[in-house]
Amino acid sequence: MPSLPTLLRLAVFLVLLAFLLQPGLFEPLFEPLVQENAPAVYNRGSLFWLTLLHLRTVLVATLAATVVAVSLAILVTREVGAEFLPLSRSLVNIGQTFPPVAVLALSVPIFGFGEKPTLIALFLYGLLPIFENALTGLTTLPLAVIEAARGAGMTERQRLLQIELPLALPVILTGIRLSVVISLATATIGSTVAAKTLGEVIIAGLQSNNLAFVLQGGLIVAALAVLIHDMLQALERTLAGRTHA
Amino acid sequence: MAIGVIRETERRPLPFDKLGVIIAALALYGAFLAPFATFRANRIVQGEGKAILEALPPSLGYGLLAVVMFGAIVAVLRTSVLVRMAAAFVALVALCFLVGRAAGSLAPADNAYARVSPASGFWVLVLAFALLVADALTRLNPGPGLRLLFLAGALALIGAMLATGQWDGLSILKEYASRAETFWAEAGRHLTLALGSLAVATAFGLPLGILCHRVDRLRAAVLNVLNAIQTIPSIALFGILIAPLGWVATHVPGAQAIGVRGIGVAPAFVALFLYSLLPVVANTVVGLAGVPRAANDAARGLGMTEGQRLVRVEFPLAFPVILAGIRIVLVQNIGLATIAALIGGGGFGVFVFQGIGQTAMDLVLLGAVPTVLLAFMAAIVLDALIEVTGPKHSRGKAA
Using a CB-CB distance cutoff of 8 angstroms, which residues of chain A are in contact with residue B331? 96-97, 99
Is B207 inside any structural domain?
A: yes
Residue A217 to residue B236, Cβ atoms within 8 A: yes
B14 touches chain A (CB under 8 A): no
CA distance, residue A64 to nearest chain B CA (Å): 22
CA B323 from centre of chain: 17
User: Does the pLDDT of residue B190 top 90, yes or no?
Assistant: yes
Residue B352 to residue A98, Cβ atoms within 8 A: no
Is B396 inside any structural domain?
A: no
Q: Which residue of B has its CA nearest to A227?
A: B231
Which residues 15-44 in chain A show a CB within 8 A of chain B? Answer: 33
Tell me, yes or no, whether B252 and B315 share the same domain: yes
Gap between the Cα atoms of B387 and B370, Å rounded: 26
pLDDT for B281: 93
Using a CB-CB distance cutoff of 8 angstroms, which residues of chain B are in contact with residue A81? 18
Tell me, yes or no, whether B149 and B192 share the same domain: no
B334 touches chain A (CB under 8 A): yes
Is B394 inside any structural domain?
A: no
Q: What is the mean pLDDT of residues A134-156?
A: 86
Cα dist from B221 to A6, A79, B212, B276, whole Å: 17, 46, 9, 17
Give the residue numbers spanning the domain of B293: 180-389
**pLDDT (tens digit per residue) in A72-122:** 999 998 888 888 888 888 888 788 788 888 888 888 777 877 888 899 889
pLDDT for B206: 93
Is B22 inside any structural domain?
A: yes
A171 half-sphere exposure, CB direction, 13 A CA radius: 19
Contact assessment for residue B68 and residue B91, using Cβ atoms and an 8 Å cutoff: yes
The sign of the torsion formed by the CA atoms of B254, B344, B200, B286 equals positive
Is B399 inside any structural domain?
A: no
Strands B37-40 and B115-118: antiparallel
Tell me, yes or no, whether B291 and B157 share the same domain: no
Number of structural domains found in chain B: 2
Cβ count within 10 A of residue B308: 12
A222 touches chain B (CB under 8 A): yes
Asked which of B171, B204, B234 is the last residue of a domain, the reply is: B171
Tell me, yes or no, whether B108 and B185 share the same domain: no
CA distance, residue A245 to nearest chain B CA (Å): 25
Q: What is the mean pLDDT of residues A129-144?
A: 89
For A83, the closest of B19, B232, B361 (CB atoms) is B19
User: Does the pLDDT of residue B395 top 60, yes or no?
Assistant: no
Is B106 inside any structural domain?
A: yes
Tell me, yes or no, whether B275 and B367 share the same domain: yes
Gap between the Cα atoms of A187 and B11, Å rounded: 46
Is B291 inside any structural domain?
A: yes
Residue B233 to residue A109, Cβ atoms within 8 A: no
The sign of the torsion formed by the CA atoms of B111, B114, B115, B120 equals negative
Tell me, yes or no, whether B246 and B379 share the same domain: yes
**pLDDT (tens digit per residue) in B325-379:** 999 899 989 999 998 888 888 899 999 988 888 877 888 889 999 999 999 999 9
Residue A8 amino acid letter: L
Gap between the Cα atoms of A23 and B53, Å rounded: 61
Tell me, yes or no, whether B107 and B154 share the same domain: yes
Tell me, yes or no, whether B137 and B186 share the same domain: no
Q: Which parts of chain B fold into alpha helices (H)? A: 2-11, 18-28, 52-55, 58-76, 81-106, 120-140, 144-163, 171-177, 180-191, 197-214, 216-231, 234-240, 242-251, 265-289, 293-301, 306-309, 315-336, 349-357, 361-389
Which residues 85-104 in chain A show a CB within 8 A of chain B? Answer: 86-87, 89-94, 96-102
Residue A97 to residue B331, Cβ atoms within 8 A: yes
pLDDT for A1: 60
Q: What is the mean pLDDT of residues B217-231?
A: 86
Gap between the Cα atoms of A167 and A145, Å rounded: 10
Tell me, yes or no, whether B192 and B307 share the same domain: yes
Q: Which residue from B27, B26, B46, B30 is spatially nearest to B38, judged by alpha carbons?
A: B46
Contact assessment for residue A133 and residue A175, using Cβ atoms and an 8 Å cutoff: yes
Q: What is the mean pLDDT of residues A119-144?
A: 88
Dihedrals φ, ψ of A3, to 5°? -75, 170
Beta-ladder partners of A114: none
Gap between the Cα atoms of B370 and A106, Å rounded: 12
pLDDT for B382: 92
**pLDDT (tens digit per residue) in B127-157:** 999 999 988 888 888 888 888 999 999 999 9
Tell me, yes or no, whether B193 and B321 share the same domain: yes
Is B395 inside any structural domain?
A: no
B344 touches chain A (CB under 8 A): no
Tell me, yes or no, whether B93 and B217 share the same domain: no
Question: Which CATH number fits the domain that encloses residue B341?
Answer: 1.10.3720.10
Q: B396 pLDDT band (50/70/90 cuts)?
A: very low
Domains of chain A, CATH where assigned: 47-215 (1.10.3720.10)
Residue A199 to residue B18, Cβ atoms within 8 A: no
B154 touches chain A (CB under 8 A): no
Gap between the Cα atoms of B331 and B188, Å rounded: 16
Q: Which residues contact residue B248 at a Cβ distance below 8 angstroms, ignoring those fewer than 6 apart?
A: B255, B260
pLDDT for A180: 92
Asked which of B171, B197, B217 is the last residue of a domain, the reply is: B171
Asked which of B145, B171, B197 is the last residue of a domain, the reply is: B171
Tell me, yes or no, whether B360 and B219 share the same domain: yes
B212 touches chain A (CB under 8 A): no
User: Does the pLDDT of residue A172 top 80, yes or no?
Assistant: yes
A129 touches chain B (CB under 8 A): no
Q: What is the mean pLDDT of residues B89-113?
A: 83
Q: A237 pLDDT band (50/70/90 cuts)?
A: confident
Least confident of A168-172, A205-209, B272-276, B296-300: A205-209
Cβ count within 10 A of residue B388: 13
pLDDT for B14: 62
Using a CB-CB distance cutoff of 8 angstroms, which residues of chain B are in contact with residue A202? 233, 235-236, 239
Q: Which residue from A190, A70, A177 is spatially nearest to A120, judged by alpha carbons?
A: A190
pLDDT for B1: 41
